[in-house]
Amino acid sequence: MYSSLSDDDISLASANLATRTPAPPTISSFTELQAFNETMKQTILVAIDFELICTSTNGRTELKKVSEVGIAIFDPRTVSPSPELALRDSTSSNSKFRSSSTALEDLAKTAMVVFHFLMDKWKNQTETSCPAFWHRERKNKKASPHRPRPYHCKFARSKIMPSAEAIRQLKSTIKALTIQGLTMDEKNHGEERQVRILFWDSSLEDKIFRQAGINLEEMGKNVEAWDVQSWYPFRCRFNTGSNQGKASGETAFGSLGVLGRVDAGGQSVVLHNATNDTVAQLLAFLRFQVMTEEEWVSWFDHRDDLSELSFDWVDGAIYEYNLGRMPQEKPFGKKPWGKNKNWNNRKESWQGSYQRVTQRSHRNTPGPSQTTKVEANKNHAQHNSHQNLENQKDYHQAEAVNPLGTRMSTPENDTTPATSPESTPKEIQTPATSPEVGSVAQYMANISL
């Protein structure tokens, strides 16, 4: 049984003090869980998660790399009365025949509010377009998958905005919750709501809150943040000795059934989207508030997973809308075309450069009397010999035709027939006469001059 605290367990729980954001109060038995839930009946829960661009820092702070902000809110004062919520009273004689899944679904449907913000600066960085080199296979190294899923939010239509606006809305949301749903008596006494912010592994959120200047003491009188990953029920159940009791979100949320049912396409909730993550965090925490004693013993003592939630109530049009906004960019190939370059982009770049080269060549194209190799050789001989005055006159006339003074010279050992296509000097080849117009080979020939 795992419900009794040992000296090692106490040491494990006290390790939470090393983090800036503390864990929720320690819970090690169902009796303690019931007492804790009594203190949370009027508390607003806010799960917050950030996703970052998947590239090297290059001097950027975590705040400047934020690509998504996810917010999921639960206010118990907005819960509609429902028979299923009687599961909160786990002393009911029929509780052992019930599951908390139905009650949790009812809470989510009636009282959960979610937001998803996409940063305008990073909206084009997706799982198919991220330029990080570690997403491509290298010698003796496998490609590391891109984890963030910015366009896979299932619970809210994503809003694209500048980073500063997203942080401003995050601050105003937290502050507004402290006075949300106050009674008249509470307003007259200047009271505020109790708000608890939930993180999963708060190391990143702590840094971003500091960099963004989000001070919880300034947000309200009774606003605190909790690192749910460090909460004792999770640390004790998933402690393997080597992970310091820190479980991954997939493992912890899956054990509580809040990722939905597994089908051929995977879990119902796609993680590593900021809002999907916050919904999973919030539902995982809420499951402890509707959990029966039998479920607690099964999950905490026997380490059995609970039944999965059904997300049939979620509007599928939201997911389709968000997926439809994903930029249509091709994934990176294995060929080394450079950053942000695939074959089509490279080909277009070559063709564009070729056109610029030929345009420069056209500006330097000689006059009509110098458009063949025979005439170029003739002018060259006339210029060197100075023996025939008539020929010299022709030479000066040719110079007057081409005021730019471009001269075509041919090596003395060149035996190419004057009538062959190759006899035209490279400097005066045009798209109409070039044998490989617009090709890579012709482009390389032009830039090598």
Task: Determine which of 48-62, 189-203, 408-422 has the lowest per-residue pLDDT on average.
Answer: 408-422
> For position 377, what pLDDT does the model report?
60
The whole-number pLDDT of residue 191 equals 95
What pLDDT score was predicted for residue 148? 86
Q: At CA 398, angle to CA 396 and CA 400, rounded to 5?
A: 75
Give the C-alpha separation, 62 to 444, whole Å: 43
| Residue 30 pLDDT exceeds 70 | yes
**pLDDT band at 371, cuts 50/70/90?**
very low
For residue 397, the model assigns a pLDDT of 47
Mean pLDDT of the chain: 74
Token digits for 256?
């509580």
Spell out the domain ranges in the chain. Answer: 7-324, 342-363+430-449, 366-421
Model confidence band, residue 20 (pLDDT cutoffs 50, 70, 90): confident
Contact in structure between 200 and 235 (CB atoms under 8 Å): no
- What pLDDT band is residue 147 in, cutting at 50, 70 and 90? confident
The predicted structure's pLDDT at residue 265: 52
44-93 confidence digits (pLDDT tens): 999 999 999 876 666 678 999 999 999 999 999 998 765 445 444 444 43
How deeply is 197 buried, as exposed, middle or buried, from its count of CB atoms within 10 A (0-12, 13-18, 19+)? buried
Instruction: Flag whether pLDDT at 386 surpasses 80.
Output: no
**pLDDT tier at 3, thresholds 50, 70, 90:** very low
For residue 432, name the pLDDT band (cuts at 50, 70, 90): very low
Name the least confident of 55-59, 99-103, 424-428: 424-428
> What is the 3 state secondary structure string of 321-389?
HHHHCCCCCCCCCCCCCCCCCCHHHHHHHHHHHHHHHHHHHHHCCCCHHHCCHHHHHHHHHHHHHCCCH
pLDDT above 80 (res 449): no
DSSP labels for 22-40? PPPPP--SHHHHHHHHHHT
Contact 295, 99 (CB under 8 A): yes
Lowest mean pLDDT among 73-82, 299-308, 410-419: 410-419
Rounded to the nearest 10 degrees, the angle between the axes of helix 163-177 and helix 203-212 is 100
Token pair 């500091």: residue = 210
- Residue 107 CB neighbours (<10 A): 25
For residues 42 and 335, what is the distance between their CA atoms, to the nearest angstrom?
58
Query: What is the residue type of 422?
Result: E
Q: What is the pLDDT of residue 302?
A: 95
- Please indicate whether residue 37 or residue 363 has the higher confidence score (pLDDT): 37
Average pLDDT rounded to a whole number, residues 90-102: 55
pLDDT band at 370 (very low <50, low <70, confident <90, very high): very low
Looking at residue 5, what DSSP letter applies? P
Distance CA 53, CA 68 (A): 9
Rounded mean pLDDT of 344-353? 49
**Residues 6 or more apart whose Cβ sits within 8 Å of residue 430:** 358, 361, 362, 365
Average pLDDT over residues 370-396: 51
Residue type, 189: H
What's the pTM value of the predicted model, to 2 decimals? 0.67
Q: Which amino acid is at 113?
A: V
- Give the single-character DSSP code of 302: S
Of 38-52, 94-108, 345-359, where does mean pLDDT reach its minimum? 345-359
pLDDT (0 to 100) of residue 140: 67
What are the tens digits of pLDDT across the range 249-286?
999 999 999 998 766 455 578 888 999 999 999 999 99
Q: How confident is the model at residue 384 (pLDDT cuts 50, 70, 90)?
A: low
3-state SS assignment for residue 296: helix
Higher pLDDT, 19 or 175: 175
CA distance 216 to 225: 8
**What integer pLDDT is reported at residue 47 of this predicted model?**
98
- List the 159-161 sheet strands across, edge first: 159-161, 112-119, 66-74, 44-52, 195-199, 223-227
> Does the pLDDT value for residue 192 go beyond 50?
yes
Q: What are the contacts of 209-213 at 24+ separation with CB within 8 A? A: 211/61, 211/62, 211/63, 212/63, 212/167, 212/170, 212/171
Which single residue is written with the structure tokens 């606006």?
Answer: 165
pLDDT at 127: 78
Average pLDDT over residues 347-361: 51
The pLDDT value recorded for residue 402 is 38
Share of the chain above pLDDT 90, in %: 48
Instruction: State mean pLDDT over 354-380.
Output: 52
Does position 198 have pLDDT exceeding 90, yes or no? yes
How many helices (H) and strands (E) in the chain? Answer: 16, 6
Kindly indicate the confidence band of residue 231, based on its pLDDT and cuts at 50, 70 and 90. very high
- Asked if the model's pLDDT at residue 96 lies above 50, the reply is no
Question: Who has greater pLDDT, 96 or 114?
Answer: 114
